[in-house]
């Protein structure tokens, strides 16, 4: 190896599923089916919302943003996952790896932000339904979406610069069939405290704050629902939040599980790391797609504002 390869490797080697051998082809079939269902389902949601003007209201627009973020994550991981599992093509260039990592984490952060925006939408619809339409207008929703996108891009761009500085003198083998920031941090031989601290900072100011705001929104929602005199109306209002609560749990539980595996599960089998990473990136988007399959039903019959007014 030349001295330049110690500073910046030309390629990384991706890893499929350890220990599968010839059985990798069989595990590829459910992977492909899950990807196809996710992409088609998410695309259908976006198409229905765009085509039906009666769905151009806050919750449906936020649902469309969520679908776009989930579609972005799926499309960012799909090429390398299929190339590794189907064709055994494991090499990925250094810059391509950083680009894939950027889009995966960018869309994941956007996903988290949209979930918080949807929680705020539920809170406003239940707490102050009379002012709901005047606060959550189309321009304000567009501003929220633009702000979330700028937040994701602005926080992740410095991460790309930081990853180009350390020396990569260890084996250039990644633990997954795609590039993730925690995995890339395990390869440099130089001091990566700045990279690690900045990565933790991004998690805290995005997913951490989003989860905190979601919890606070639901605390206020519960407080508002307790002030509703009718028990039936309270239950109806609560039922409108079930779908969103499921989406939040589907997103955050795998993410927290993957973080725990990377920080405390180093002695664990590599298969555990691979399964947790795939669950984090694939399963939430598949389940959220199944959870939000009928935006027209949600918009027309299940929105809190329409139940309480």
* Within a domain: 109: yes
143-157, 193-207, 265-279: least confident range:
265-279
pLDDT class of 114 with cuts at 50, 70, 90: very high
Q: State the CATH number of the domain containing residue 268.
A: 1.20.1070.10
pLDDT band at 113, cuts 50/70/90?
very high
What's the domain range around 91?
10-308
- Which pLDDT tens digit goes with each residue over 253-291? 888 777 777 666 566 666 666 777 777 777 666 566 555
CA distance 132 to 305: 8
For residue 265, what pLDDT is reported? 59
E strand spans, the chain: 11-13, 91-93
Angle at 57 between CA 107 and CA 281, to 5 degrees: 20
DSSP 9-50: -SEEE----TT-GGGHHHHHHHHHHHHHHHHHHHHHHHHHHH
3-state helix, strand, coil split of the chain in percent (to 5) is: 75, 0, 20
Residue 5 lies in a domain: no
Rg (CA), the chain: 21
**Tokens coding 246:** 């499921």
Q: What is the mean pLDDT of residues 125-139?
A: 85
Answer yes or no: is 152 within a domain: yes
- 4: pLDDT confidence band, cut at 50, 70 and 90? very low
User: Is 3 within a domain?
Assistant: no
Is 2 among the domain residues? no
- What is the reported pLDDT for 148? 94
- How many CA atoms lie within 13 Å of 184's alpha carbon, on the beta-carbon side? 29
Q: Do 237 and 119 meet the contact criterion of CB atoms below 8 Å apart? A: no
pLDDT at 74 over 90: no
Closest CA to 123 of 224, 259, 15: 224
Domain contains 143: yes
Number of domains making up the chain: 1
208 within a domain of the structure (yes/no):
yes
pLDDT attached to residue 102: 94
- Supply the mean pLDDT for the chain: 79
Q: Which residue has the higher pLDDT, 114 or 263?
A: 114
Q: What is the pLDDT of residue 34?
A: 74
Which tokens sit at 139?
């321009």
Residue 117 lies in a domain: yes
């Amino acid at each position: 190896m030349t001295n330049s390869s110690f500073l910046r490797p030309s390629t990384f080697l991706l890893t499929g599923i350890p220990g599968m051998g010839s059985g990798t082809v069989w595990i590829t079939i459910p992977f492909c089916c899950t990807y196809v269902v996710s992409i088609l389902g998410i695309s259908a949601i976006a198409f229905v919302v765009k085509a039906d003007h009666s769905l151009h209201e806050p919750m449906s627009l936020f649902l469309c943003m969520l679908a776009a973020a989930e579609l972005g994550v799926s499309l960012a991981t799909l090429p390398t996952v299929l190339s590794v599992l189907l064709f055994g093509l494991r090499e990925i260039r250094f810059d391509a790896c950083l680009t894939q990592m950027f889009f995966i984490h960018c869309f994941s952060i956007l996903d988290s932000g949209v979930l918080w925006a949807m929680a705020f939408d539920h809170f406003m619809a239940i707490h102050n339904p009379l002012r709901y339409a005047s606060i959550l207008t189309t321009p304000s929703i567009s501003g929220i979406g633009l702000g979330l996108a700028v937040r994701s891009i602005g926080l992740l761009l410095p991460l790309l610069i930081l990853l180009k500085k350390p020396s990569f003198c260890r084996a250039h083998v990644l633990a997954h069939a795609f590039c993730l920031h925690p995995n890339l941090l395990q390869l440099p031989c130089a001091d990566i405290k700045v990279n690690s601290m900045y990565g933790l900072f991004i998690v805290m100011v995005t997913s951490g704050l989003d989860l905190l705001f979601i919890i606070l929104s639901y605390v206020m929602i519960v407080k508002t629902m307790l002030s509703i005199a009718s028990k039936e109306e309270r239950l109806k209002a609560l039922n409108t939040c079930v779908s969103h609560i499921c989406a939040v749990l589907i997103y955050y539980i795998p993410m927290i599980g993957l973080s725990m595996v990377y920080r405390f599960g180093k002695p664990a089998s590599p298969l555990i790391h691979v399964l947790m990473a795939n669950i984090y990136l694939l399963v939430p988007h598949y389940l959220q797609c199944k959870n939000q399959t009928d935006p027209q039903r949600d918009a027309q019959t299940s929105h809190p504002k329409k139940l309480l007014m």
